[in-house]
Amino acid sequence: MTQPSSQPVPAPSSSEFFAAFDALTPEQVRAGGTMKWSERPDTAISAWVAEMDLGTAPAVTQALHRAVDGARFGYMPTSVWEDCRAAVIDFHRDSFGWEIPERDMSLLPDVLSALRAIISRHTRPGSPVIVPTPAYMPFLTIPGTLDREAIEVPALRGDGASAPAWSLDLEGIEAAMAAGAGLLILCNPWNPVGRVLTAAELDAVAALSAKYGVVVFTDEIHSPLVLPGSPRHICYASRPGADPALTFTATAASKGWNIPGLHCAQLIASGEARARFDADPLCSCLPGGASILGVIATTAAFSQGRGWNEAVREYLRRTLEGITGRLSAIDGVSVTMPESTYLAWVDFSGALADGRITGAPAGFLERKAGVSMNEGVTFGSDYAAFCRLNLATGRGIADEIADRITAALA
């Protein structure tokens, strides 16, 4: 029923691709009615929630059109799930060198539903959850809804040359594990700072997990968005020191192909972790929440949409390099150029210190510059001077973002 993975749908040429994106205007993308553009002032350029203005792969839209035309809205046949599983396995083997056994993969609606299940059913009742910050906002709020404390472990700051601009505080993580934490949330690639964690960092986390018996939940949803020229993504579970009994990996095509609303993610676990997951009634019901259209789209994305994804990553790299450079030239502003994702982590500390920004930076810049970003404090209590800036948009719109922020802080 699905198009064979051996017949990829070609992406447009780079010149056609880039020209179409460059021509986008705020009026065009606002008319699309996405959450990103419909929940901020009409006068503002929306650069907050992590979705792209760049559409999705032709392979995905074609697969969805076929499914809709065939009224495929019923229960999911086994063959559809098996096609998806094969596409995910092939993508991870080809892209990251990780060979995932078929039996180790489950479908689920989204990454956060997996996190809730793992916290509530696979960690000690009441045990804290370690969250390296800055962190994707729900990682800080979900533990509290499950009677767990979220322990923030702020990242270490480097100069970006001799040391990464942002790195895990392994001593802080170990201290939290020694104090009784039951789970570590590892986001790799790291939203919002865009780091691709190294083998050495992952191995250090694995050693601590094994030493203290702490479960690692690794969110690798941004792995298909590693930018050209950046280090290769390494799957945490592929490292030899990652204990299968303590490791759960969640991923999806939702960010790399801009399909989060279709609700299809994958949970990968092996060994004792897989046995516990499969035996748990709460976890075993999760696959029923994956959308059949999401599964069909995911299969098309991973098997036939790689050319589109490659072109998008090159477009994002060029946009990010240009705009982060422009913003970093503003006195009192510094920007972390991501290795993955389309999210820039912007530090407005200097502009706050000299009074050019008053109050929370994102609120100030929405009012004064007409640019809507995420407040840094929502990513961790230490980051009130920061904003997360989404640059997955046309270059003309991105340049307008830089123009507006520059003028507001002149």
Q: pLDDT of 171-214, one tens digit each?
A: 999 999 999 999 999 999 999 999 999 999 999 999 999 999 99
Asked if residue 286 belongs to a domain, the reply is: yes
Q: How far apart are CA 371 and CA 131, in angstroms?
A: 29
Asked if residue 403 belongs to a domain, the reply is: yes
SS3 category, 177: helix
Q: Would you state the pLDDT for residue 1?
A: 39
Residues 289 and 388 in one domain: no
All residues at 6 or more sequence positions from 125 whose CB lies less than 8 Å from its CB, including other chains:
147
Q: Would you state the pLDDT for residue 163?
A: 84
Mean pLDDT lowest for which of 88-97, 222-231, 277-286, 369-378? 277-286
Asked if residue 3 belongs to a domain, the reply is: no
- Percent of the chain past pLDDT 70, that is, above it, reads 95
Domain endpoint, select from 286, 304, 322:
304
What's the rounded mean pLDDT across residues 157-181?
A: 94
Residues 74 and 217 in one domain: yes
Task: Say yes or no to pLDDT of 120 above 60.
Answer: yes
Q: Which DSSP helix (H) or strand (E) runs through 137?
A: helix 137-145
Domain that holds residue 352: 14-56+306-408
Task: Say yes or no to pLDDT of 6 above 60.
Answer: no
Write phi, then psi, for 108 (nearest 5 degrees). Answer: -155, 165
Q: Which domain CATH number covers 365?
A: 3.90.1150.10
Q: Would you state the pLDDT for residue 88?
A: 97
Residues 353 and 388 in one domain: yes
Domain endpoint, select from 279, 304, 329:
304
SS3 category, 11: coil
Mean pLDDT lowest for which of 37-41, 254-258, 349-353? 37-41
What's the rounded mean pLDDT across residues 154-180?
A: 94
Q: How far apart are CA 151 and CA 188, in angstroms?
A: 18
- pLDDT tens-digit profile of 68-85? 999 999 999 999 999 999
Residues 344 and 400 in one domain: yes
What's the rounded mean pLDDT across residues 245-257?
A: 97
- pLDDT tens-digit profile of 285-318? 555 578 999 999 999 999 999 999 999 999 999 9
Residues 270 and 371 in one domain: no
Asked if residue 8 belongs to a domain, the reply is: no
Task: Say yes or no to pLDDT of 4 above 60.
Answer: no
Instruction: Specify whether the CB–CB gap between 270 and 101 falls below 8 A.
Output: yes
If pLDDT is split at 50, 70 and 90, which confidence band does 162 have? confident
β-bridge partners, 187: 219
Asked if residue 245 belongs to a domain, the reply is: yes
Q: Would you state the pLDDT for residue 3?
A: 41
Mean pLDDT lowest for which of 6-10, 94-98, 99-103? 6-10
Q: Would you state the pLDDT for residue 286?
A: 55
What's the rounded mean pLDDT across residues 201-230?
A: 98
Q: Write down the mean pLDDT value for the chain.
A: 94
All residues at 6 or more sequence positions from 327 whose CB lies less than 8 Å from its CB, including other chains:
333, 335, 344, 346, 389, 402, 405, 406
Residues 185 and 262 in one domain: yes
Q: How far apart are CA 92 and CA 233, in angstroms?
A: 10
Domain count, the chain: 2
If pLDDT is split at 50, 70 and 90, which confidence band does 160 have? confident
What's the rounded mean pLDDT across residues 140-162?
A: 94
What's the rounded mean pLDDT across residues 33-59?
A: 95
Q: Would you state the pLDDT for residue 8?
A: 61
Instruction: Specify whether the CB–CB gap between 249 and 115 falls below 8 A.
Output: no
- Percent of the chain past pLDDT 90, that is, above it, reads 86
Residues 212 and 109 in one domain: yes
Task: Say yes or no to pLDDT of 159 above 90.
Answer: no
What's the rounded mean pLDDT across residues 80-107?
A: 96
Strand boundaries in 176-300, DSSP class E: 183-187, 215-219, 247-252, 265-268
Q: Is 147 left (phi over 0), alpha (psi -120 to 50) or beta?
A: left
Residues 326 and 404 in one domain: yes
Q: How far apart are CA 311 and CA 13, in angstroms?
A: 9
Who wins on pLDDT, 144 or 283?
A: 144
Instruction: Specify whether the CB–CB gap between 79 and 299 falls below 8 A.
Output: no
Residues 43 and 71 in one domain: no
Residues 270 and 239 in one domain: yes
Asked if residue 331 belongs to a domain, the reply is: yes
Q: Which domain CATH number covers 241?
A: 3.40.640.10
Place of tokens 């999806």: 252
Assigned token pair, 349: 């500390």
Residues 128 and 210 in one domain: yes
DSSP label of 195: B
Residues 126 and 168 in one domain: yes
Asked if residue 6 belongs to a domain, the reply is: no
Domain endpoint, select from 264, 287, 304:
304
